[in-house]
Chains A and B, each alone.
Chain A
Amino acid sequence: MKRWIYSLLFLCIPICVHAQKNSFEEQQITRLRSNDDDNIETAVEAISKSGNIAFYDLMTALFNAELYLTDQGQLVVAGSTREDDYGETFAQLNTAYPKRTVLLDDANIPIEVNLYNLTEVESNRRIRALIQPYLTQMEIFHPDPLKRRVAAETLGHQGNPDAIPILTQAIAKETDTDIKSFMQVARAKLQLQHKDANIRLEAVTALGELNDTFVLPLLESHAEKETDATVQTELKSTIQWLKEFTVIMMAVQTAFVGLSLGSILILVALGLAVIYGQMGVINMAHGEFMMTGAYTTFVVQNICFALLPAAYIDVFFPVSLPLAFVISGCFGLLIERLIIRHLYSRPLESLLATWGVSLVLVQLARSIFGDLTAVKLPKWLSGGYALAPQVLLPYNRLFIIVFTVFIVVGLIAFFYKTNFGLRLRAVTQNRDMSACMGVPVRRVDSFTFFIGTGIAGVAGWAMTLIGNVVPNMGQTYIVDAFLVVVVGGVGKIIGTIVAGLGIGISNKVLEPFVEAVYAKVLILGLIIMFLQANPTGIFPAKGRNEDQ
């Protein structure tokens, strides 16, 4: 008993200090302390009107019937309660103003008081009804972003024009752009109901500037009841603009997704095309070399996570790029030496043999790594660039597009600017003649296979950004990649690029109209039709062999 009396003495101090500081606050607190219904009502009204955030905790406590008066007449908030063995209820005490903080005694132990010794500050239904709008208004300043958002929506929905200045204040303070636009919409909603046509006009303009299709229904419903002619014209043009904007954004989104799929297909198909153009071998295990690259990334990540401090963890991603290339390439070299070499000029047999290789590699990966592993997205690639409120371009997909461009440019430079590229093109064009001219054909073959499978590994490295690392990950895109090679024609990188982009984009353009599966079937049909006219692809190798 003695303990809490002492501590209550301490507790008076902060309240007194504040009370002296500000007469308005002091006045309201005195009113509340009187515990008289009329006085409390006056205080609540005054506080609501002032819109002062400082009373938020106090009002919340009053609203929830947690506000109590001590014997000394001080305001406290009862926190969590417990019952002792005699059935008495004890509550932890908190300060009520200006912030709710747990009261501690001099031994730093939270003070507990028998509820019986406290007097509840009455808040009847009338008072609570008065407090409610104040609380909602104040929640717009709440530190929790979700609460701010809900408060903004509620305010807009309630349609009380008094909230306009509060919203303006909140908009000025807000840092989160998403919530800010919610607040702006709420404010505009309120402004639209304003008697003054100028304010309504202002609201329409503000809504239009948000560039968000989300406000369309609001504008459209308002257009039906708007009487003022200027506002009406402004409304019409805003609605028109927003509709156009939606169409443009849809197109941009589709183009982006298509570009993203196209660049993935190019990345996967490049290695395939290089090998096929050079040796006439369709490497069925190409997807598995991608998988090798992805698992290399995964292993490097795990090593980095184990060894490096948290701040440098993302280093694993750039580090694993060359490793993915070299390791996949070496695997490819091994397969070339052991298998492909012996099947020279028997393309169908090498197709089957590489399929066998793919089965073994998938099973090997499954028994070593299990079924579901993922590479953590590096921090600098998470998130996305918001082109418009509803159009987000994820950084990882942007990165893949840029990376593909980089690889393509690098490969073209390699093909056309280096001595080796020259030999490689010579062998692609006429193998026998090149051999006669002294090009070491077999060595060129091996190196081509190394490059081709290395690019596959790099593709796998990039794929870890957008999907899990699983043993059969190579199969997702591989059939499409084959089609890219077939459509693109042999021996020219440009064919692969055009075909990859074409297939990727047309896939995504068709998807809104038919389901993804049917889009695929449709594309296959289109490809077959296309091959009717150009059986050797878009950019066929020019020459005069018997087939043409």
Chain B
Amino acid sequence: MKNATTPFIIFCLFGILIPILNHFGLVADNTLNLWGRYFCFAIAALGVDLIWGYTGILSLCQAFFFCLGGYAIGMHMLLKTGTKSVYGSTLPDFMVWNQVEQLPLFWEPFHTFPISLLMVIVIPAIIALVFGYLAFRSRLKGVYFAIITQALALAMWLIFLRNETMLGGTNGLTDFKTLLGFELSDPATKRGLYMAAFITLFAAYYFSRFITNSKLGRILVAIRDGEMRLRFIGYPITHYKVFIFMVAGVLASIGGMLYVPQTGIITPGRMDVQASIAMVVWTAVGGRATLIGPIIGAILVNLLYSFLTGAFPGTWLYFLGFLFIGVVLFFPDGITGLWAKCKTLWASRSNNTSTPPEPALEK
């Protein structure tokens, strides 16, 4: 994007105009909330795009990172609920059910907001660092890496489902009341969360753009297209891979952090095997290896999801399945790829001169 007008218009529209319209009741609170959540998904999708679209590493545990952020902020909010909970105990309700008398040690840091925010970034970063280092060091790649990350997601999902891990078990964390002292049920807070999600998405977009436009970005693409060549030249590929895995994990985690206050609940269901693959589909539908693609994909697929589950219940899985197959088979570059193709076609027809085709993605 050479000119800055398009992003500026988008920013004004979603970041300023829609919240103002909502303030005057012209945009429903629900719609605003829904879009706020889509932006969170889009942030996670950007992470998927960085690691899969640009670097060519398929990670199937991004939903797990998403949930790490969600659980971190959820734990903070639950502790802030304090004695206003159903049982009037300072402990979260599910601990009262499970007859836990004392707050587990690992919950303690989440009493304060800044530390919780730090945790949202540090925990996924550390997990991605350790896991990524072990995996990439032994040169796991391609489907091997995909399977190992999927197994990680499955194992973590099973652990989060347990009651004794003190993370709320199957029911997850819910019944949040306030965030930084603002009532979550207040429409103004919801608007604030929406704007926070949007601004973070914007920032994440520019951050990703910064990465992809830098020398680092070129190396990432080179890893995707000719890993061995790059290794032989002497680049420490493992470091780059671990780094981008960490970035993707942290982006997903930030998305989760912004998502949970808006939905008011986080359960292990958000991190099952299918959830991670769904994130890959958003990216694929939007168009990978472009930065606007995953954002469009995440929003569009989720819009379709809420439309289809409402209008034709039971058809969603068919639709998602065929979407998978269709996109992979017929539109490997997604919507943005389609758009670019249309533009070239249009240009060649109006100019009647053959514009050189854009360099195609190498698969």
Contacts and interface: CB of A to CB of B under 8 A. Distances in A.
22 contacts: A343-B328, A348-B52, A348-B56, A348-B142, A351-B146, A353-B325, A356-B321, A357-B321, A357-B324, A359-B318, A363-B317, A363-B321, A479-B147, A479-B151, A482-B147, A483-B151, A520-B158, A531-B140, A531-B144, A533-B138, A535-B139, A547-B139
Interface stretch (B195-203, B273-281, B343-351): B273-281
Given A343-B329, A521-B159, A528-B135, A355 B147 contact: no
A348 B146 contact: yes
B164 to A, nearest CB: 9
Contact of A521 (B140, B150, B155, B161): B155
Contacts of A482: 147, 150-151
A306 to B, nearest CB: 29
Interface string B140-173: 1011101110111011001101100000000000
Contact of A282 (B147, B273, B332): B147
Interface residues of B, number: 44
Nearest to B325: A356
B280 A352 contact: yes
B277 A352 contact: yes
Given A351-B58, A547-B228, 16 more contacts: A280-B143, A339-B329, A342-B329, A343-B329, A348-B143, A353-B328, A356-B322, A359-B320, A360-B317, A479-B273, A517-B155, A521-B155, A521-B159, A529-B134, A531-B148, A532-B137
Nearest to A531: B138
Contacts of B308: none
Contacts of B56: 348
A343 B158 CA distance: 33
A265 interface: no
Interface in A324-354: 339, 342-343, 345-353
B170 to A, nearest CB: 13
Contacts of A362: 317
Contacts of A358: 321
Interface string B165-198: 0000000000000000000000000000000000
A367 B324 CA distance: 20
Contacts, number: 119
A457 B321 CA distance: 21
A453 to B, nearest CB: 17
A483 B147 contact: yes
Given A355-B324, A482-B151, A535 B317 contact: no
Interface string B275-310: 001001100100000000000000000000000000
B2 interface: no
A65 to B, nearest CB: 52
A529 to B, nearest CB: 8
B277 to A, nearest CB: 6
A333 B317 CA distance: 23
A348 B48 CA distance: 14
Nearest to A367: B314
A524 interface: yes
A353 B146 contact: no
A93 interface: no
A41 B332 CA distance: 97
B284 A352 contact: yes
A359 B317 contact: yes
A353 B152 CA distance: 21
Given A282-B146, A343-B329, A351-B58, A360 B140 contact: no
A343 B228 CA distance: 22
B363 interface: yes
A517 B158 contact: yes
Contacts of A280: 143
A362 B152 CA distance: 23
Contacts of A350: 328
- What 6 A-B pairs have minimum CB-CB distances, sorted nearest first? A356-B324, A359-B321, A360-B321, A363-B317, A356-B325, A353-B328
